[in-house]
Amino acid sequence: MQIIVPAAAHPSEALQQARNALELPALHALLQRSAAPQWIAGDDSSLSPLSEQLHAQALALEGADGLLPWAARAAQSQGLDARAPGWAWITPCHWRVHSDHVYMDDPERLRLTRGDADALLRDMQPFFAADGITLYPTHDADAACVRWLAHGSVLAGLPTASLERVRAASVDAWMPRQAQAKGLRRLQNEMQMLLYTHPVNAARAHAGQLPVNAFWVSGTGTLSGAARADTQPVTLVQTLRSHALSDDAQGWSQAWTALDSGVLADALHSALAATQINAQRQSALSVTLCGPRNAWRLTAQRLDFWQQLRRRLRPLDERALLARLDSA
C-alpha cells in the first residue's frame, strides 16, 4: 500500500511551531521500521507539484510536466472517449485583480451548490463551444470544489499548471502563454463579462459570498499505454492541505494527529500483521510525506540485527524529518 501526504510540512512560522509540538506515535513507529528514508527532490517551478507527480507515478499515469492526464483519467471513469487527445479540467474560481498581480481565492471557499454550478455551466457552455470545447458536468464526491471536464482540440498537448499551484496564490506566473492558449485567454475575458452580471453571482453577492469571475484549466494530458496490473493500492491524504493553505496551525495539527491515529496506524498495523503471517514476506507499505517542494518516502521493511540495533541506539525523529521538508 502506498500513502501520499501533501502538505506534511509548511514553512510558515505558525505551522513550524505546531510541528514542534506534534506527537505522532504511528509515524514514529514507521520510522523505526524503515532502513533509510528516501529523499525525493522536487522543483517549485514545475507545473505539476511533486505530490501530483508521485501520485501519478503510483497510479502508472504517464505524462510530462503539466501534462499528467488527470482529466482524461476522470473521463475514462465516466465512460467517455478518454483516449482522444484534448481533455482538461475546468474549475470555476474567483480572481482578485490587484495593480501588480492577479490572486485566486481557494476555489473551495466558493462552496458552489449543484444548482448554481449547473446554471453557470449551461450559460458558459456556448462560449466554450464556439472555440470547439465541450464541457461535461461532473459530480465527483471526492472533489473538494466544483470542476467540469472539458474536451477540445485546442487543449491537446497544452501544458497547464496544477490548481495546487494557484489556489490561494498569484496566477500570473502560471498562466499558459503559448500561442495555442490565445483562444483560452480571450475566453477568460468573455467569461469575466458574462459572469459580471450573471444571476448566480447576483444572488451570491446578496448572500455575501464571493462571485465566480474566472476559470482555471488544468489536468491536461493524454492517456497512453495499457493499464498496469502491478500497481499497489494508493491513498492520497488531502486533510492537511487546506489548513496549510490558510495558515491554520491548530487545524493542521489536529489533522496530523487524526491522520497518525487513523490512516497511518491502521496501515502500519495491517503491514505488520501481514509480515507476521508470512515471515518471509516484506511489508508493502510506503508513506511519502510531501512538503512544498521536496518529499520523504518511508518504506516499512524487515530490518536485520545491525539495523535494529542502530535504530535502538539512534532512533529517527519524525519532527526532525518534517523540519527538513520545511527548510528545503
Domain ranges within the chain, ordered by starting residue? 2-60+231-327, 70-218
* Whole-number Å distance between alpha carbons of 88 and 217: 7
* Whole-number Å distance between alpha carbons of 113 and 133: 24
CB within 8 A of 8, min separation 6: which ones? 240, 256, 289, 290, 291, 322, 325
Q: What is the dihedral of CA 61, 64, 70, 73, to 10 degrees?
A: -50
Q: Give the chain's mean pLDDT.
A: 90
Is the pLDDT confidence value at 282 over 80? no
Query: Could you tell me the pTM of the whole model?
Result: 0.91
* Whole-number Å distance between alpha carbons of 160 and 64: 11
pLDDT (mean) for 247-273: 93
Contact in structure between 90 and 216 (CB atoms under 8 Å): yes
Alpha carbon of residue 177 to chain centroid: 23
Sign of the four-CA dihedral 58, 61, 65, 70:
negative
Q: What is the dihedral of CA 263, 264, 265, 266, to 10 degrees?
A: 50
pLDDT (mean) for 64-92: 95
Is the pLDDT confidence value at 293 over 60? yes
Residue reference for cell 494530458: 221
**pLDDT tier, 169 (very low <50, low <70, confident <90, very high otherwise):** very high
Is the pLDDT confidence value at 188 over 80? yes
Report residue 178: phi and psi, to 5°.
Answer: -65, 155
Per-residue pLDDT, 277? 47
Per-residue pLDDT, 300? 81
Per-residue pLDDT, 328? 54
Per-residue pLDDT, 86? 97
Q: How many residues does the chain have?
A: 328
Per-residue pLDDT, 309? 65
Query: Which of 39-53, 128-142, 153-167 is predicted least confidently?
Result: 128-142
Angle, CA 96 vertex, CA 92 and CA 99 arms, to 5°: 145
Q: How far is CA 252 from CA 50, 87, 89, 256, in A?
A: 20, 34, 28, 6
Per-residue pLDDT, 304? 66
* Whole-number Å distance between alpha carbons of 3 and 288: 6
Is the pLDDT confidence value at 276 over 70? no
**pLDDT tier, 25 (very low <50, low <70, confident <90, very high otherwise):** very high
Looking at per-residue confidence, does 306 or 234 come out higher?
234
CB within 8 A of 234, min separation 6: which ones? 1, 2, 3, 4, 55, 58, 59
The three cell numbers locating residue 9: 510540512
At 234-259, the pLDDT tens digits run 999 999 999 999 999 999 999 999 99
Percent of the chain with pLDDT over 70: 89
pLDDT (mean) for 254-281: 80
* Whole-number Å distance between alpha carbons of 21 and 7: 17
Counting beta carbons within 10 angstroms of the beta carbon of residue 220, is it exposed (0 to 12), middle (13 to 18) or buried (19 or more)? buried
pLDDT (mean) for 23-51: 91
**pLDDT tier, 224 (very low <50, low <70, confident <90, very high otherwise):** confident
Looking at per-residue confidence, does 142 or 185 come out higher?
185
At 79-138, the pLDDT tens digits run 999 999 999 999 999 999 999 999 999 999 999 999 999 999 999 999 999 999 999 998
The three cell numbers locating residue 212: 465566480
- In angstroms, the first-to-last Cα distance of the chain is 27
Contact in structure between 218 and 72 (CB atoms under 8 Å): no
In what side-by-side order are the strands of the sheet with 38-40?
A: 38-40, 295-299, 286-290, 2-5, 234-236
**pLDDT tier, 274 (very low <50, low <70, confident <90, very high otherwise):** low
Contact in structure between 3 and 298 (CB atoms under 8 Å): no
